[in-house]
A and B are shown apart, each in its own frame.
Chain A
Amino acid sequence: MRGADIELARRCREGEAGAFEELYRAQGGRLFALLVRMMGSPQEAEDLLQEVFLHAYRKIGSFRGDSSLGTWLYRLAVNQCLDHLRGRQARMARTTDSIDEDGAAEPVAAAPALPEAISRIDLERAIAQLPEGYRAAFLLHDVEGLDHHEVAGALGISTGTSKSQVHKARLRLRALLGGSTHGGGR
């Protein structure tokens, strides 16, 4: 698989006709899904998708195959998202949960459990309320199915931080969806 990625990157780098479209067809859908949920708007996601692939076009020469092309593109996409979001929100309160911040333990409370059926709409809304760092890690791991090593590569963090971010995102979602957080120590 990694060999196929290196070969596709080489074809893109050499300007082979159709190679970049092949890359787009293989990765564009997954990136778009991530971008929609990160940005909260399909229109903004489409604009960012353009920027991500243009950035990839300029930088494909730097791809060495240390990670998969998908992970490499995820990293470009997340960086673009965070740049845009941070510019847009100008460090509003909820952005204070930076991607590298381990943060304090989640509060403990007697927890009403999640509702029996988790509505997709409610879950989408709750994901949109996550701090960016938690949201990126959760989307990559729980929605897109990357393992923590891949998430770490895409976000430029350690595997341990990835686990921590995903766990905190889940606790926050549980709280937002009607339950409450638990597991912060007692």
Chain B
Amino acid sequence: MDCHEHALTLGDLVDGTADPGAARAAAAHLAACAPCRALVDDLARLRLAARTLETPVPPPHAWPRLAAALEAERQRTSRGWLGLGLTPWGWMPAAAALALIVGGLSWVGERLTPDTLPARTIAGPTAAPRGGDGGDPEALRLAETEFTQAIAGLEAATQSASTIDPLAADDLRAGVAAIDAAIGESRAALAQEPANALAQEALLDALRSKVALLQDTVALIDDQRDGPAGLGAPDPRELRQ
């Protein structure tokens, strides 16, 4: 009788999972093979001992530490989506929301007074004539030049937008198109009335919005380029309490 032939069946016998036919054949073998009987006895005791091993438990600080790491991860992954606080898989609704937000800017911009226009903090040009009497057309021209140069630089940086999911890229392009339309309308109004303060503010706000959107796009591209692996978990040793 070949003991090896029954090797796995002996394991199944120990586990109580052998099918009836194999169990009968193994039992016949065991009846004639003392070493295999001893083996089955040993394996059964080994299995029992394994089941009674103590279960190590995580230290109490493990969850707070993990919770902090998860929060850091959540913040890192949401940074590229205008701080909408979304989880990594939530980018598609974010892209759609972004398009709606940006797309509505031109509509909102036409209805708000200069002083109530939403202020967006951007690290771009800040020069802007203000005042109810209308700004200096020359100052406006200089500010517009600064914005235009900044936009050109950012647009060059977004040429790798193919790294963004196509749907998100479509939404971003739609947002830019909406802002461009607002810029065009403001410029048309200023062509008629160069000192019109409302039109000047609308133009500058549209330019600011475009800079901000492009900055967010560049940040998004950077995040996408890093990829999931690039989301790298913080070094656990740094987070240990």
Contacts and interface: CB of A to CB of B under 8 A. Distances in A.
Interface of A: 13-15, 20-21, 24-25, 28-30, 32-33, 36-37, 42, 45-47, 49-51, 53-55, 57-58, 60-61, 105, 108, 110-111, 113-114, 118, 120, 123-124, 138, 142-143, 145, 147-148, 163-164, 166-167, 170, 173-174, 177, 179, 182-186
A166 B54 CA distance: 20
B73 A58 contact: yes
Contacts of B239: 50
A50 B11 contact: no
Interface string B1-21: 011111110111010010000
Nearest to B61: A46
B51 A163 contact: no
Nearest 10 A/B pairs, CB to CB: A185-B4, A61-B89, A142-B50, A118-B49, A32-B58, A167-B11, A54-B233, A36-B56, A47-B236, A50-B236
A145 B51 CA distance: 8
Contacts, number: 149
For B17, B39, B57, B239, which residue has the most chain A Cβ atoms within 10 angstroms? Answer: B39
Contacts of A15: 74, 85-87, 90
B55 interface: yes
Contacts of B2: 185-186
B88 A58 contact: yes
A99 B39 CA distance: 24
Nearest to A105: B4
B53 A123 contact: yes
B36 interface: yes
Contact of B46 (A28, A60, A108, A174): A174
Contacts of B10: 167, 183
Contact of A142 (B5, B51, B58, B59): B51
A147 B86 CA distance: 37
B120 interface: no
Nearest to A108: B3
A148 B14 CA distance: 13
B88 A61 contact: yes
B78 to A, nearest CB: 10
B236 A183 contact: no
Contacts of A124: 53
